Amino acid sequence: MLTTIVAFLVAIGILVVIHELGHYWVGRWCGVKALRFSVGFGKVLLRRTDRHGTEWALSAIPLGGYVKFLDGRDDALPPAEAHRAFDRQSVWRRIAIVAAGPLANLLLASLLYAVLFTMGVREPEPGQGPPLPRVQSVLEHSPAAEAGLRADDVILRAGGLYDPDPGAFVDLIGRSADHAVPLLVLRDGGEFPLSVTPRAADAGSPGRIGVGLGVNLRFVEVRYGPLESLWRGMERTGEMVSLTVRMFGRLLIGEASWSQVSGPVTIADYAGQTARIGLEAYIAFLAVVSVSIGVLNLLPIPMLDGGHLLYYLVEIVRGSPPPDRWFDIGQRVGLSLLLALMGVALFNDFVRLLG
């Protein structure tokens, strides 16, 4: 439990600080005065004011953070500092400041993946065949067991997929709940036709057949130089961003179950598990969560960075800021959406915990 708590707090601390530093540094570069940089919400536990007049604070609820910039709508704003207020900046500067937080998370993910590539990653040995899915284990009473699948079977064909890789196979099974999928497997040197019908845990969930999959490949450890590691880290981050966006899209159109949404309890659990496995696993965990935070904050939901960016795009199109009424409605809608999302995430967390 102690490992889990410490690993979670370290992860949240790193990810929040990097996100808010993105806002802070670009704000400073644009000439905006930062009044407070807080790690956490609620009651301030520790504080220190620097020579620029920024209060650096550690607050009681360690589930986020914020940067408070000088606001031109404050009646007590000194006229001499009006030019340093956030809302007095051009729309392009405001866009840069707001977008800097999520982009800082994506940059952090790229650097973390680059560290992993520098430390060494396992890659398939050159000169081998395609990475066919190999069945590593079969659960009792599962659709796979009922279909006759066995450990060490190699999937040669699934539906219309020939020589499927594990990702393509899992995607096909996920989309085929309650529909028979014809298989051709390699077993003991011979080919055998089978048919398996995936089952979904509940309505809207992806299909499952109850197998553990691997690949029939030999792996070697490869280390890359700093520049190539950085490039590969950026590529991996781009892949993770694409995967995260697609998952959000599948949730919205009903192709994925909302039971897959995780909250702070599950994140803390994964933090503890990866920390116990080792440094590489923990770094990979940080990279994945950093990508998720970056993408989530860019969603066009009021109260998130993406919601503010949406307002600024409207301002560019209209030639003037949206009416205050739009902001008021947006704040209420955004708060409702975020509370609903948090409620779903916490419900899923406790279902997994109790299960």
Q: Are residues 282 and 309 in the same domain?
A: yes
**Residue in this structure with the two tokens 């604070």, named with its chain if needed:** 57
Question: Could you list the residue range(s) of the whole structural domain that residue 139 is in?
Answer: 133-217
Question: What does the alpha-carbon distance between residue 307 and residue 297 come to, in Å, rounded to a whole number?
Answer: 8
Instruction: Report yes or no on 65 lying in a domain.
Output: no
Q: Which of 240, 216, 235 is nearest to 224 (CA)?
A: 235
Q: Are residues 256 and 337 in the same domain?
A: yes
Instruction: Report yes or no on 303 lying in a domain.
Output: yes
Q: Are residues 347 and 306 in the same domain?
A: yes
H-helix segments, the chain:
2-29, 91-119, 143-147, 166-174, 226-253, 264-277, 279-298, 305-318, 324-354
> Cβ atoms within 10 A of the Cβ of 59, count?
20
Of 217, 233, 261, which residue is a domain's last?
Answer: 217
Q: Are residues 183 and 271 in the same domain?
A: no
DSSP 260-288: G---HHHHHHHHHHHHHH-HHHHHHHHHH
Instruction: Report yes or no on 263 lying in a domain.
Output: yes
What integer pLDDT is reported at residue 216 of this predicted model? 66
Instruction: Report yes or no on 40 lying in a domain.
Output: no
Instruction: Report yes or no on 102 lying in a domain.
Output: yes
What integer pLDDT is reported at residue 1 of this predicted model? 78
Q: Are residues 240 and 294 in the same domain?
A: yes
Q: Are residues 171 and 230 in the same domain?
A: no
Strand partners, 195: 182
Q: Are residues 114 and 251 in the same domain?
A: yes
Q: Are residues 211 and 233 in the same domain?
A: no
What integer pLDDT is reported at residue 129 of this predicted model? 63
Handedness of CA 85, 87, 90, 92 (dihedral sign): positive
What integer pLDDT is reported at residue 131 of this predicted model? 64
Q: Which residues are catalytic?
A: 20
Kindly list the averaged pLDDT for each block of 10 residues, start to end, along the chain of length 355: 88 93 95 92 91 91 88 76 89 96 96 93 69 84 92 89 86 90 90 91 82 76 90 94 88 77 84 89 93 92 90 92 87 88 86 74
CATH of the domain at 156: 2.30.42.10
Instruction: Report yes or no on 38 lying in a domain.
Output: no
Question: What does the alpha-carbon distance between residue 57 and residue 76 come to, in Å, rounded to a whole number?
Answer: 22
Q: Are residues 103 and 252 in the same domain?
A: yes
Q: Are residues 230 and 292 in the same domain?
A: yes
Q: Are residues 139 and 119 in the same domain?
A: no
Into how many domains does the chain fold? 2
Instruction: Report yes or no on 170 lying in a domain.
Output: yes
Instruction: Report yes or no on 57 lying in a domain.
Output: no
Of 167, 182, 217, which residue is a domain's last?
Answer: 217
Of 217, 240, 260, which residue is a domain's last?
Answer: 217
Three-state SS for 78? coil
Question: What does the alpha-carbon distance between residue 72 and residue 79 come to, in Å, rounded to a whole number?
Answer: 9
Q: Are residues 184 and 271 in the same domain?
A: no
What integer pLDDT is reported at residue 127 of this predicted model? 64
What integer pLDDT is reported at residue 75 of this predicted model? 65
Residue 141 belongs to what H/E stretch? none
